[in-house]
Each structure stands twice: as structure tokens, then as C-alpha cells.
Amino acid sequence: MELFYIRQIIEGDISHFPYFVETYKDMAFAIAYRITNNREDAEEIVQDAFVKAYRSLAKFRQDSKFSTWLFRIVVNLALTKIKRNEKKIASDIEISELPDNMIESVEAMYRGLSETEQRTLINTALDEMGREDRLLLTLYYLNENSIDEIKDITSISPDNIKMKLHRARKKMYGRLNKRLEPAIKETV
Amino acid sequence: MENAQPEKGTSYILHNSRLELNDPGFSKIVLQKIQQERNRKIKIQLWIRYSLIMVSLLLVLLFVILSSNIDLGQFSSLLSNEDSAQLQGLFGYFILPLLLLLGFKRLLDTRIRN
């Protein structure tokens, strides 16, 4: 169906374009936000990405999914934006990785929280992580992109993606553990 | 594209980090921008097309003038010479096509503006 819509849009019928906006705007926004950490910037990037996608639609080779192609545009625009805005941000805060045997206990603690608490906790944890880690986690676990798709979106090699994802996941649990530990101690 | 909440693992943890663009007018804004982009593209295409037509017409005009052996110096001689046949020739071969060309250009300009 997407290919049919794309052909129609290329031929000048833009009435199908809102389908793509409605389908992918939230995922595109999540990607842009995880890179920029700023809502307004992310929103602007997503708008520009859709316009750019429309402009270059004839160049879309259809050997990948439309979403993969769109997300690549989002990532490029977001990286350009932060390079322009960034003065000199210090490297990401050192975050310790959590050993595999503790991951389950963190998950159990996390389950005990209310949905609002969970949302605050996970977003704070992600905000404290490096932008690449946040982006990879969002693409893989949230947007459910495959390793190959992530390779197309980020231009990182599949082996590197796997390694980075593994470490990012452990860092995320480490971050969660750090925030959950005091709460657990208080209740004990 | 809303995914169901995963039951466990990292996907479960990250599910609550899902972000939404809570702007009901977002699609409309994007569509407006695309419409502007489309109009800009159409305008550029029209300009290119019409410029080519204008250049072609100018070349035709030049060819007519050159092939009809009209001496452009007739302009100055007109002031002293009252020969109406010469005036007719000048009007037919030079001024009339020029007026037609200008009229055509005006027509195209109006169309591009609209």
C-alpha cells in the first residue's frame, strides 16, 4: 500500500502524504528527541524531515522500507542541528554497566512502580545516557527496527550496533539501578 | 503505529519512554509546507518552460529581421523620410512581432503569478 501511495504522491497527488505523517510522526519524533533532547527542536526536525522526504521521494529507491529511509533523514537533520547548536558538550557522564545477573532484579523493582513513576524513571535514565545509546535503544527496542535497518539509518556497522546495543542496555539498567536502590533501601 | 506493551525485558522497560507528538495540527502544518514546496517547484518549472519559449520566440524574431534585410538604421532615417512603405515594412517585420512577444510575455507572467 505504501508503494502505491508513494507512486501517487510522485505523480502529484499529495492527498496520501498525511498517511505517512500520521503513521511515522511519533517514531520520528522519538528519534529526533533522543538525539536533541529538546522537544521544540525535535518537532521542527520532524517537520523538516517530512518536507525533505517529499522533496526527495522520487529518489527513494524502494530497496528499504519507507520508514527506514525517513528515519535516516531524521537522524541526519538532528545531527546537523545539534552540531550547529552545540558549543562543546562534555562527553557523556560515566555510567557503570550493570552485570547480567542483576538485570532481573532491576526489572522486578521497576515493575513495582506505578506507570507514571516508571515513565519518569526511564525518561530520566535515558536523558542521562549518551545520545548514541539513547538512539540505538529507541530504534531497536521501541521502534522495533532490525539491525540491518539501524545500519541503514545510522551508518554504523551491524557488529558495532550489536556491541553498542549490548552496552547501552547494560548502562540503562545501571542507571535504573542507581535510581531504584535508594528507594529500595528506604522501604527496607 | 501503536505497539502493544511487551511483557518483559528491555522492551518492557523502554515501553514507557515512548514519546508522542501531541500536536493535532502537525499533519496540517506539514501538508501546508509541502504545498508551498510544491507550488515553488511548479513555479520554477513554469519559469524554465516559459523562458525557453521566450528565447525561442526571440530567436525567430531575430531570424525574421535578418532574413528580411531590414536595415535597423531605418529608425533614424524614419525621422527624415516620410516613406510610408518603409514604415509599413518596419511595423510588419519588427514592431508587430515585438508587441506580440511582449503581450505573450505578459500573459505568461500573469499565469505564473496565479
Domain that holds residue A52: 2-88
pLDDT, residue A90, reads: 45
Q: What is the rounded average pLDDT of the residues B17-25?
A: 81
Are A169 and A147 in the same domain?
Answer: yes
* B30 in reach of chain A (CB within 8 A): yes
Answer whether A50 sits within 8 Å of B3, measured CB to CB: no
- Residue from B11, B13, B28, B39 whose CB has the most chain A CBs within 10 Å, to mutate: B13
- Which residues are within 8 A (CB) of A161 and not within 5 positions of it... i.e. 6 or more apart? A136, A147, A150, A151, A154
Inter-chain CB proximity A47 and B26 less than 8 Å = yes
Reported as a single tens digit per residue, the pLDDT across B58-98 is 887 777 777 766 565 555 555 555 555 666 666 666 677 77
Q: Which of A30, A56, A88 is the last residue of a domain?
A: A88
Give residue A123's identity as a one-letter amino acid code. N
Tell me if A37 sits within 8 A of A124, measured CB to CB. Answer: no
Whether B30 and A50 lie within 8 Å, measured CB to CB: yes
Q: What is the pLDDT of residues A58-99, one digit of tens each?
A: 888 878 899 999 999 999 999 999 887 765 444 455 566 777
For the cut 50, the answer to whether the pLDDT of residue B1 exceeds it is no
Query: Do A16 and A25 touch, CB atoms closer than 8 A?
Result: no
Q: How far apart (Å, rounded) are the C-alpha atoms in residues A21 and A29?
A: 11
Q: What is the pLDDT of residue A188?
A: 46
For the domain that residue A76 is a member of, what is the CATH number? 1.10.1740.10
Residue A68, pLDDT score: 93
Q: Which residue has the cell 502524504?
A: A17
Give the pLDDT of residue A137.
Answer: 93
- Asked if A104 and A183 sit in the same domain, the reply is yes
Which of A5, A11, A19, A26 to substitute to test the interface with B, most B CBs within 10 Å?
A26
Q: Give dist(CA A181, CA A186) in Å, integer.
A: 9
Q: Which residues, other chains included, contact A34 with Cβ-Cβ below 8 Å and sequence gap of 6+?
A: A126, A131, A134, A135, A138
Residues of B in contact with A23 (CB under 8 A): 1
Give yes or no: residues A117 and A149 share one domain: yes
Instruction: Identify whether residues A122 and A149 lie together within a single domain.
Output: yes
Do A65 and A111 fall into the same domain? no
Using only the alpha carbons of chain B, give its radius of gyration: 31
Q: Which of A29, A118, A122 sits opposite B21 (nearest CB)?
A: A29
Residue A93 falls inside a structural domain? no
Which of A58, A88, A118 marks a domain boundary? A88
Indicate whether A37 belongs to any domain: yes
Residue A69: inside a domain: yes
- CB B91, CB B29: distance < 8 Å: no
SS3 A66: helix
Within-domain flag for A105: yes
A18 in Cβ contact with A66 (< 8 Å) = no
Alpha-carbon distance B19 to A59, whole Å? Answer: 29
Number of folded domains that form chain A: 2
The DSSP 8-state label assigned to residue A139 in this structure reads I
Does B44 contact A at CB distance below 8 Å? no
| Runs of H (alpha helix) within B1-114 | 9-15, 26-67, 74-80, 84-90, 96-113
Contact A29 B27 (CB under 8 A): no
Q: How far apart are CA A85 and CA A146, in angstroms?
A: 31
Residues A74, A123 within the same domain: no
- Domain at A113, CATH number: 1.10.10.10
**Over the stretch A148-159, which tens digit does the pLDDT of each residue have?**
999 999 999 999
Tell me which of A88, A111, A133 is where a domain ends.
Answer: A88
User: What angle, 0 to 180 degrees and rounded to 10, lies between the N-to-C axes of helices A17-36 and B26-67?
Assistant: 110
| Interchain contact, A141 vs B16, CB within 8 Å | no
Contact A122 B9 (CB under 8 A): no
Same structural domain, A16 and A77: yes
Same domain as A58, residue A17: yes
Q: Given this model, what pLDDT does residue B105 score?
A: 73
> pLDDT at position A91, please?
47
* pLDDT at residue B74, as a whole number: 58
Are the Cβ atoms of A122 and B21 closer than 8 angstroms? no
Angle among Cα A155, A159, A165 to the nearest 5 degrees reads 85
pLDDT for the residue A165: 93
**Do the Cβ atoms of B1 and A14 come within 8 Å?**
no
Looking at the structure, tell me whether residues A18 and A68 fall in a common domain.
Answer: yes
Handedness of CA A163, A165, A168, A169 (dihedral sign): negative
A82 touching B (Cβ < 8 Å): no
In a domain, A95, yes or no: no
Partner-chain residue, chosen from B3, B15, B21, that has the shortest CB–CB distance to A43 = B21
SS3 A112: coil
* pLDDT in single tens digits along all 188 residues of chain A: 888 889 888 888 888 899 999 999 999 999 999 999 888 999 999 999 999 999 898 888 878 899 999 999 999 999 999 887 765 444 455 566 777 777 888 888 888 888 888 888 999 889 888 899 999 999 999 888 999 999 999 999 999 999 999 999 999 998 888 888 766 555 54
Same domain, yes or no: A76 and A116 = no
Same domain, A122 and A146: yes
Q: Could you tell me if A30 and A82 lie in one domain?
A: yes
B3, A144 contact by CB (below 8 A): yes
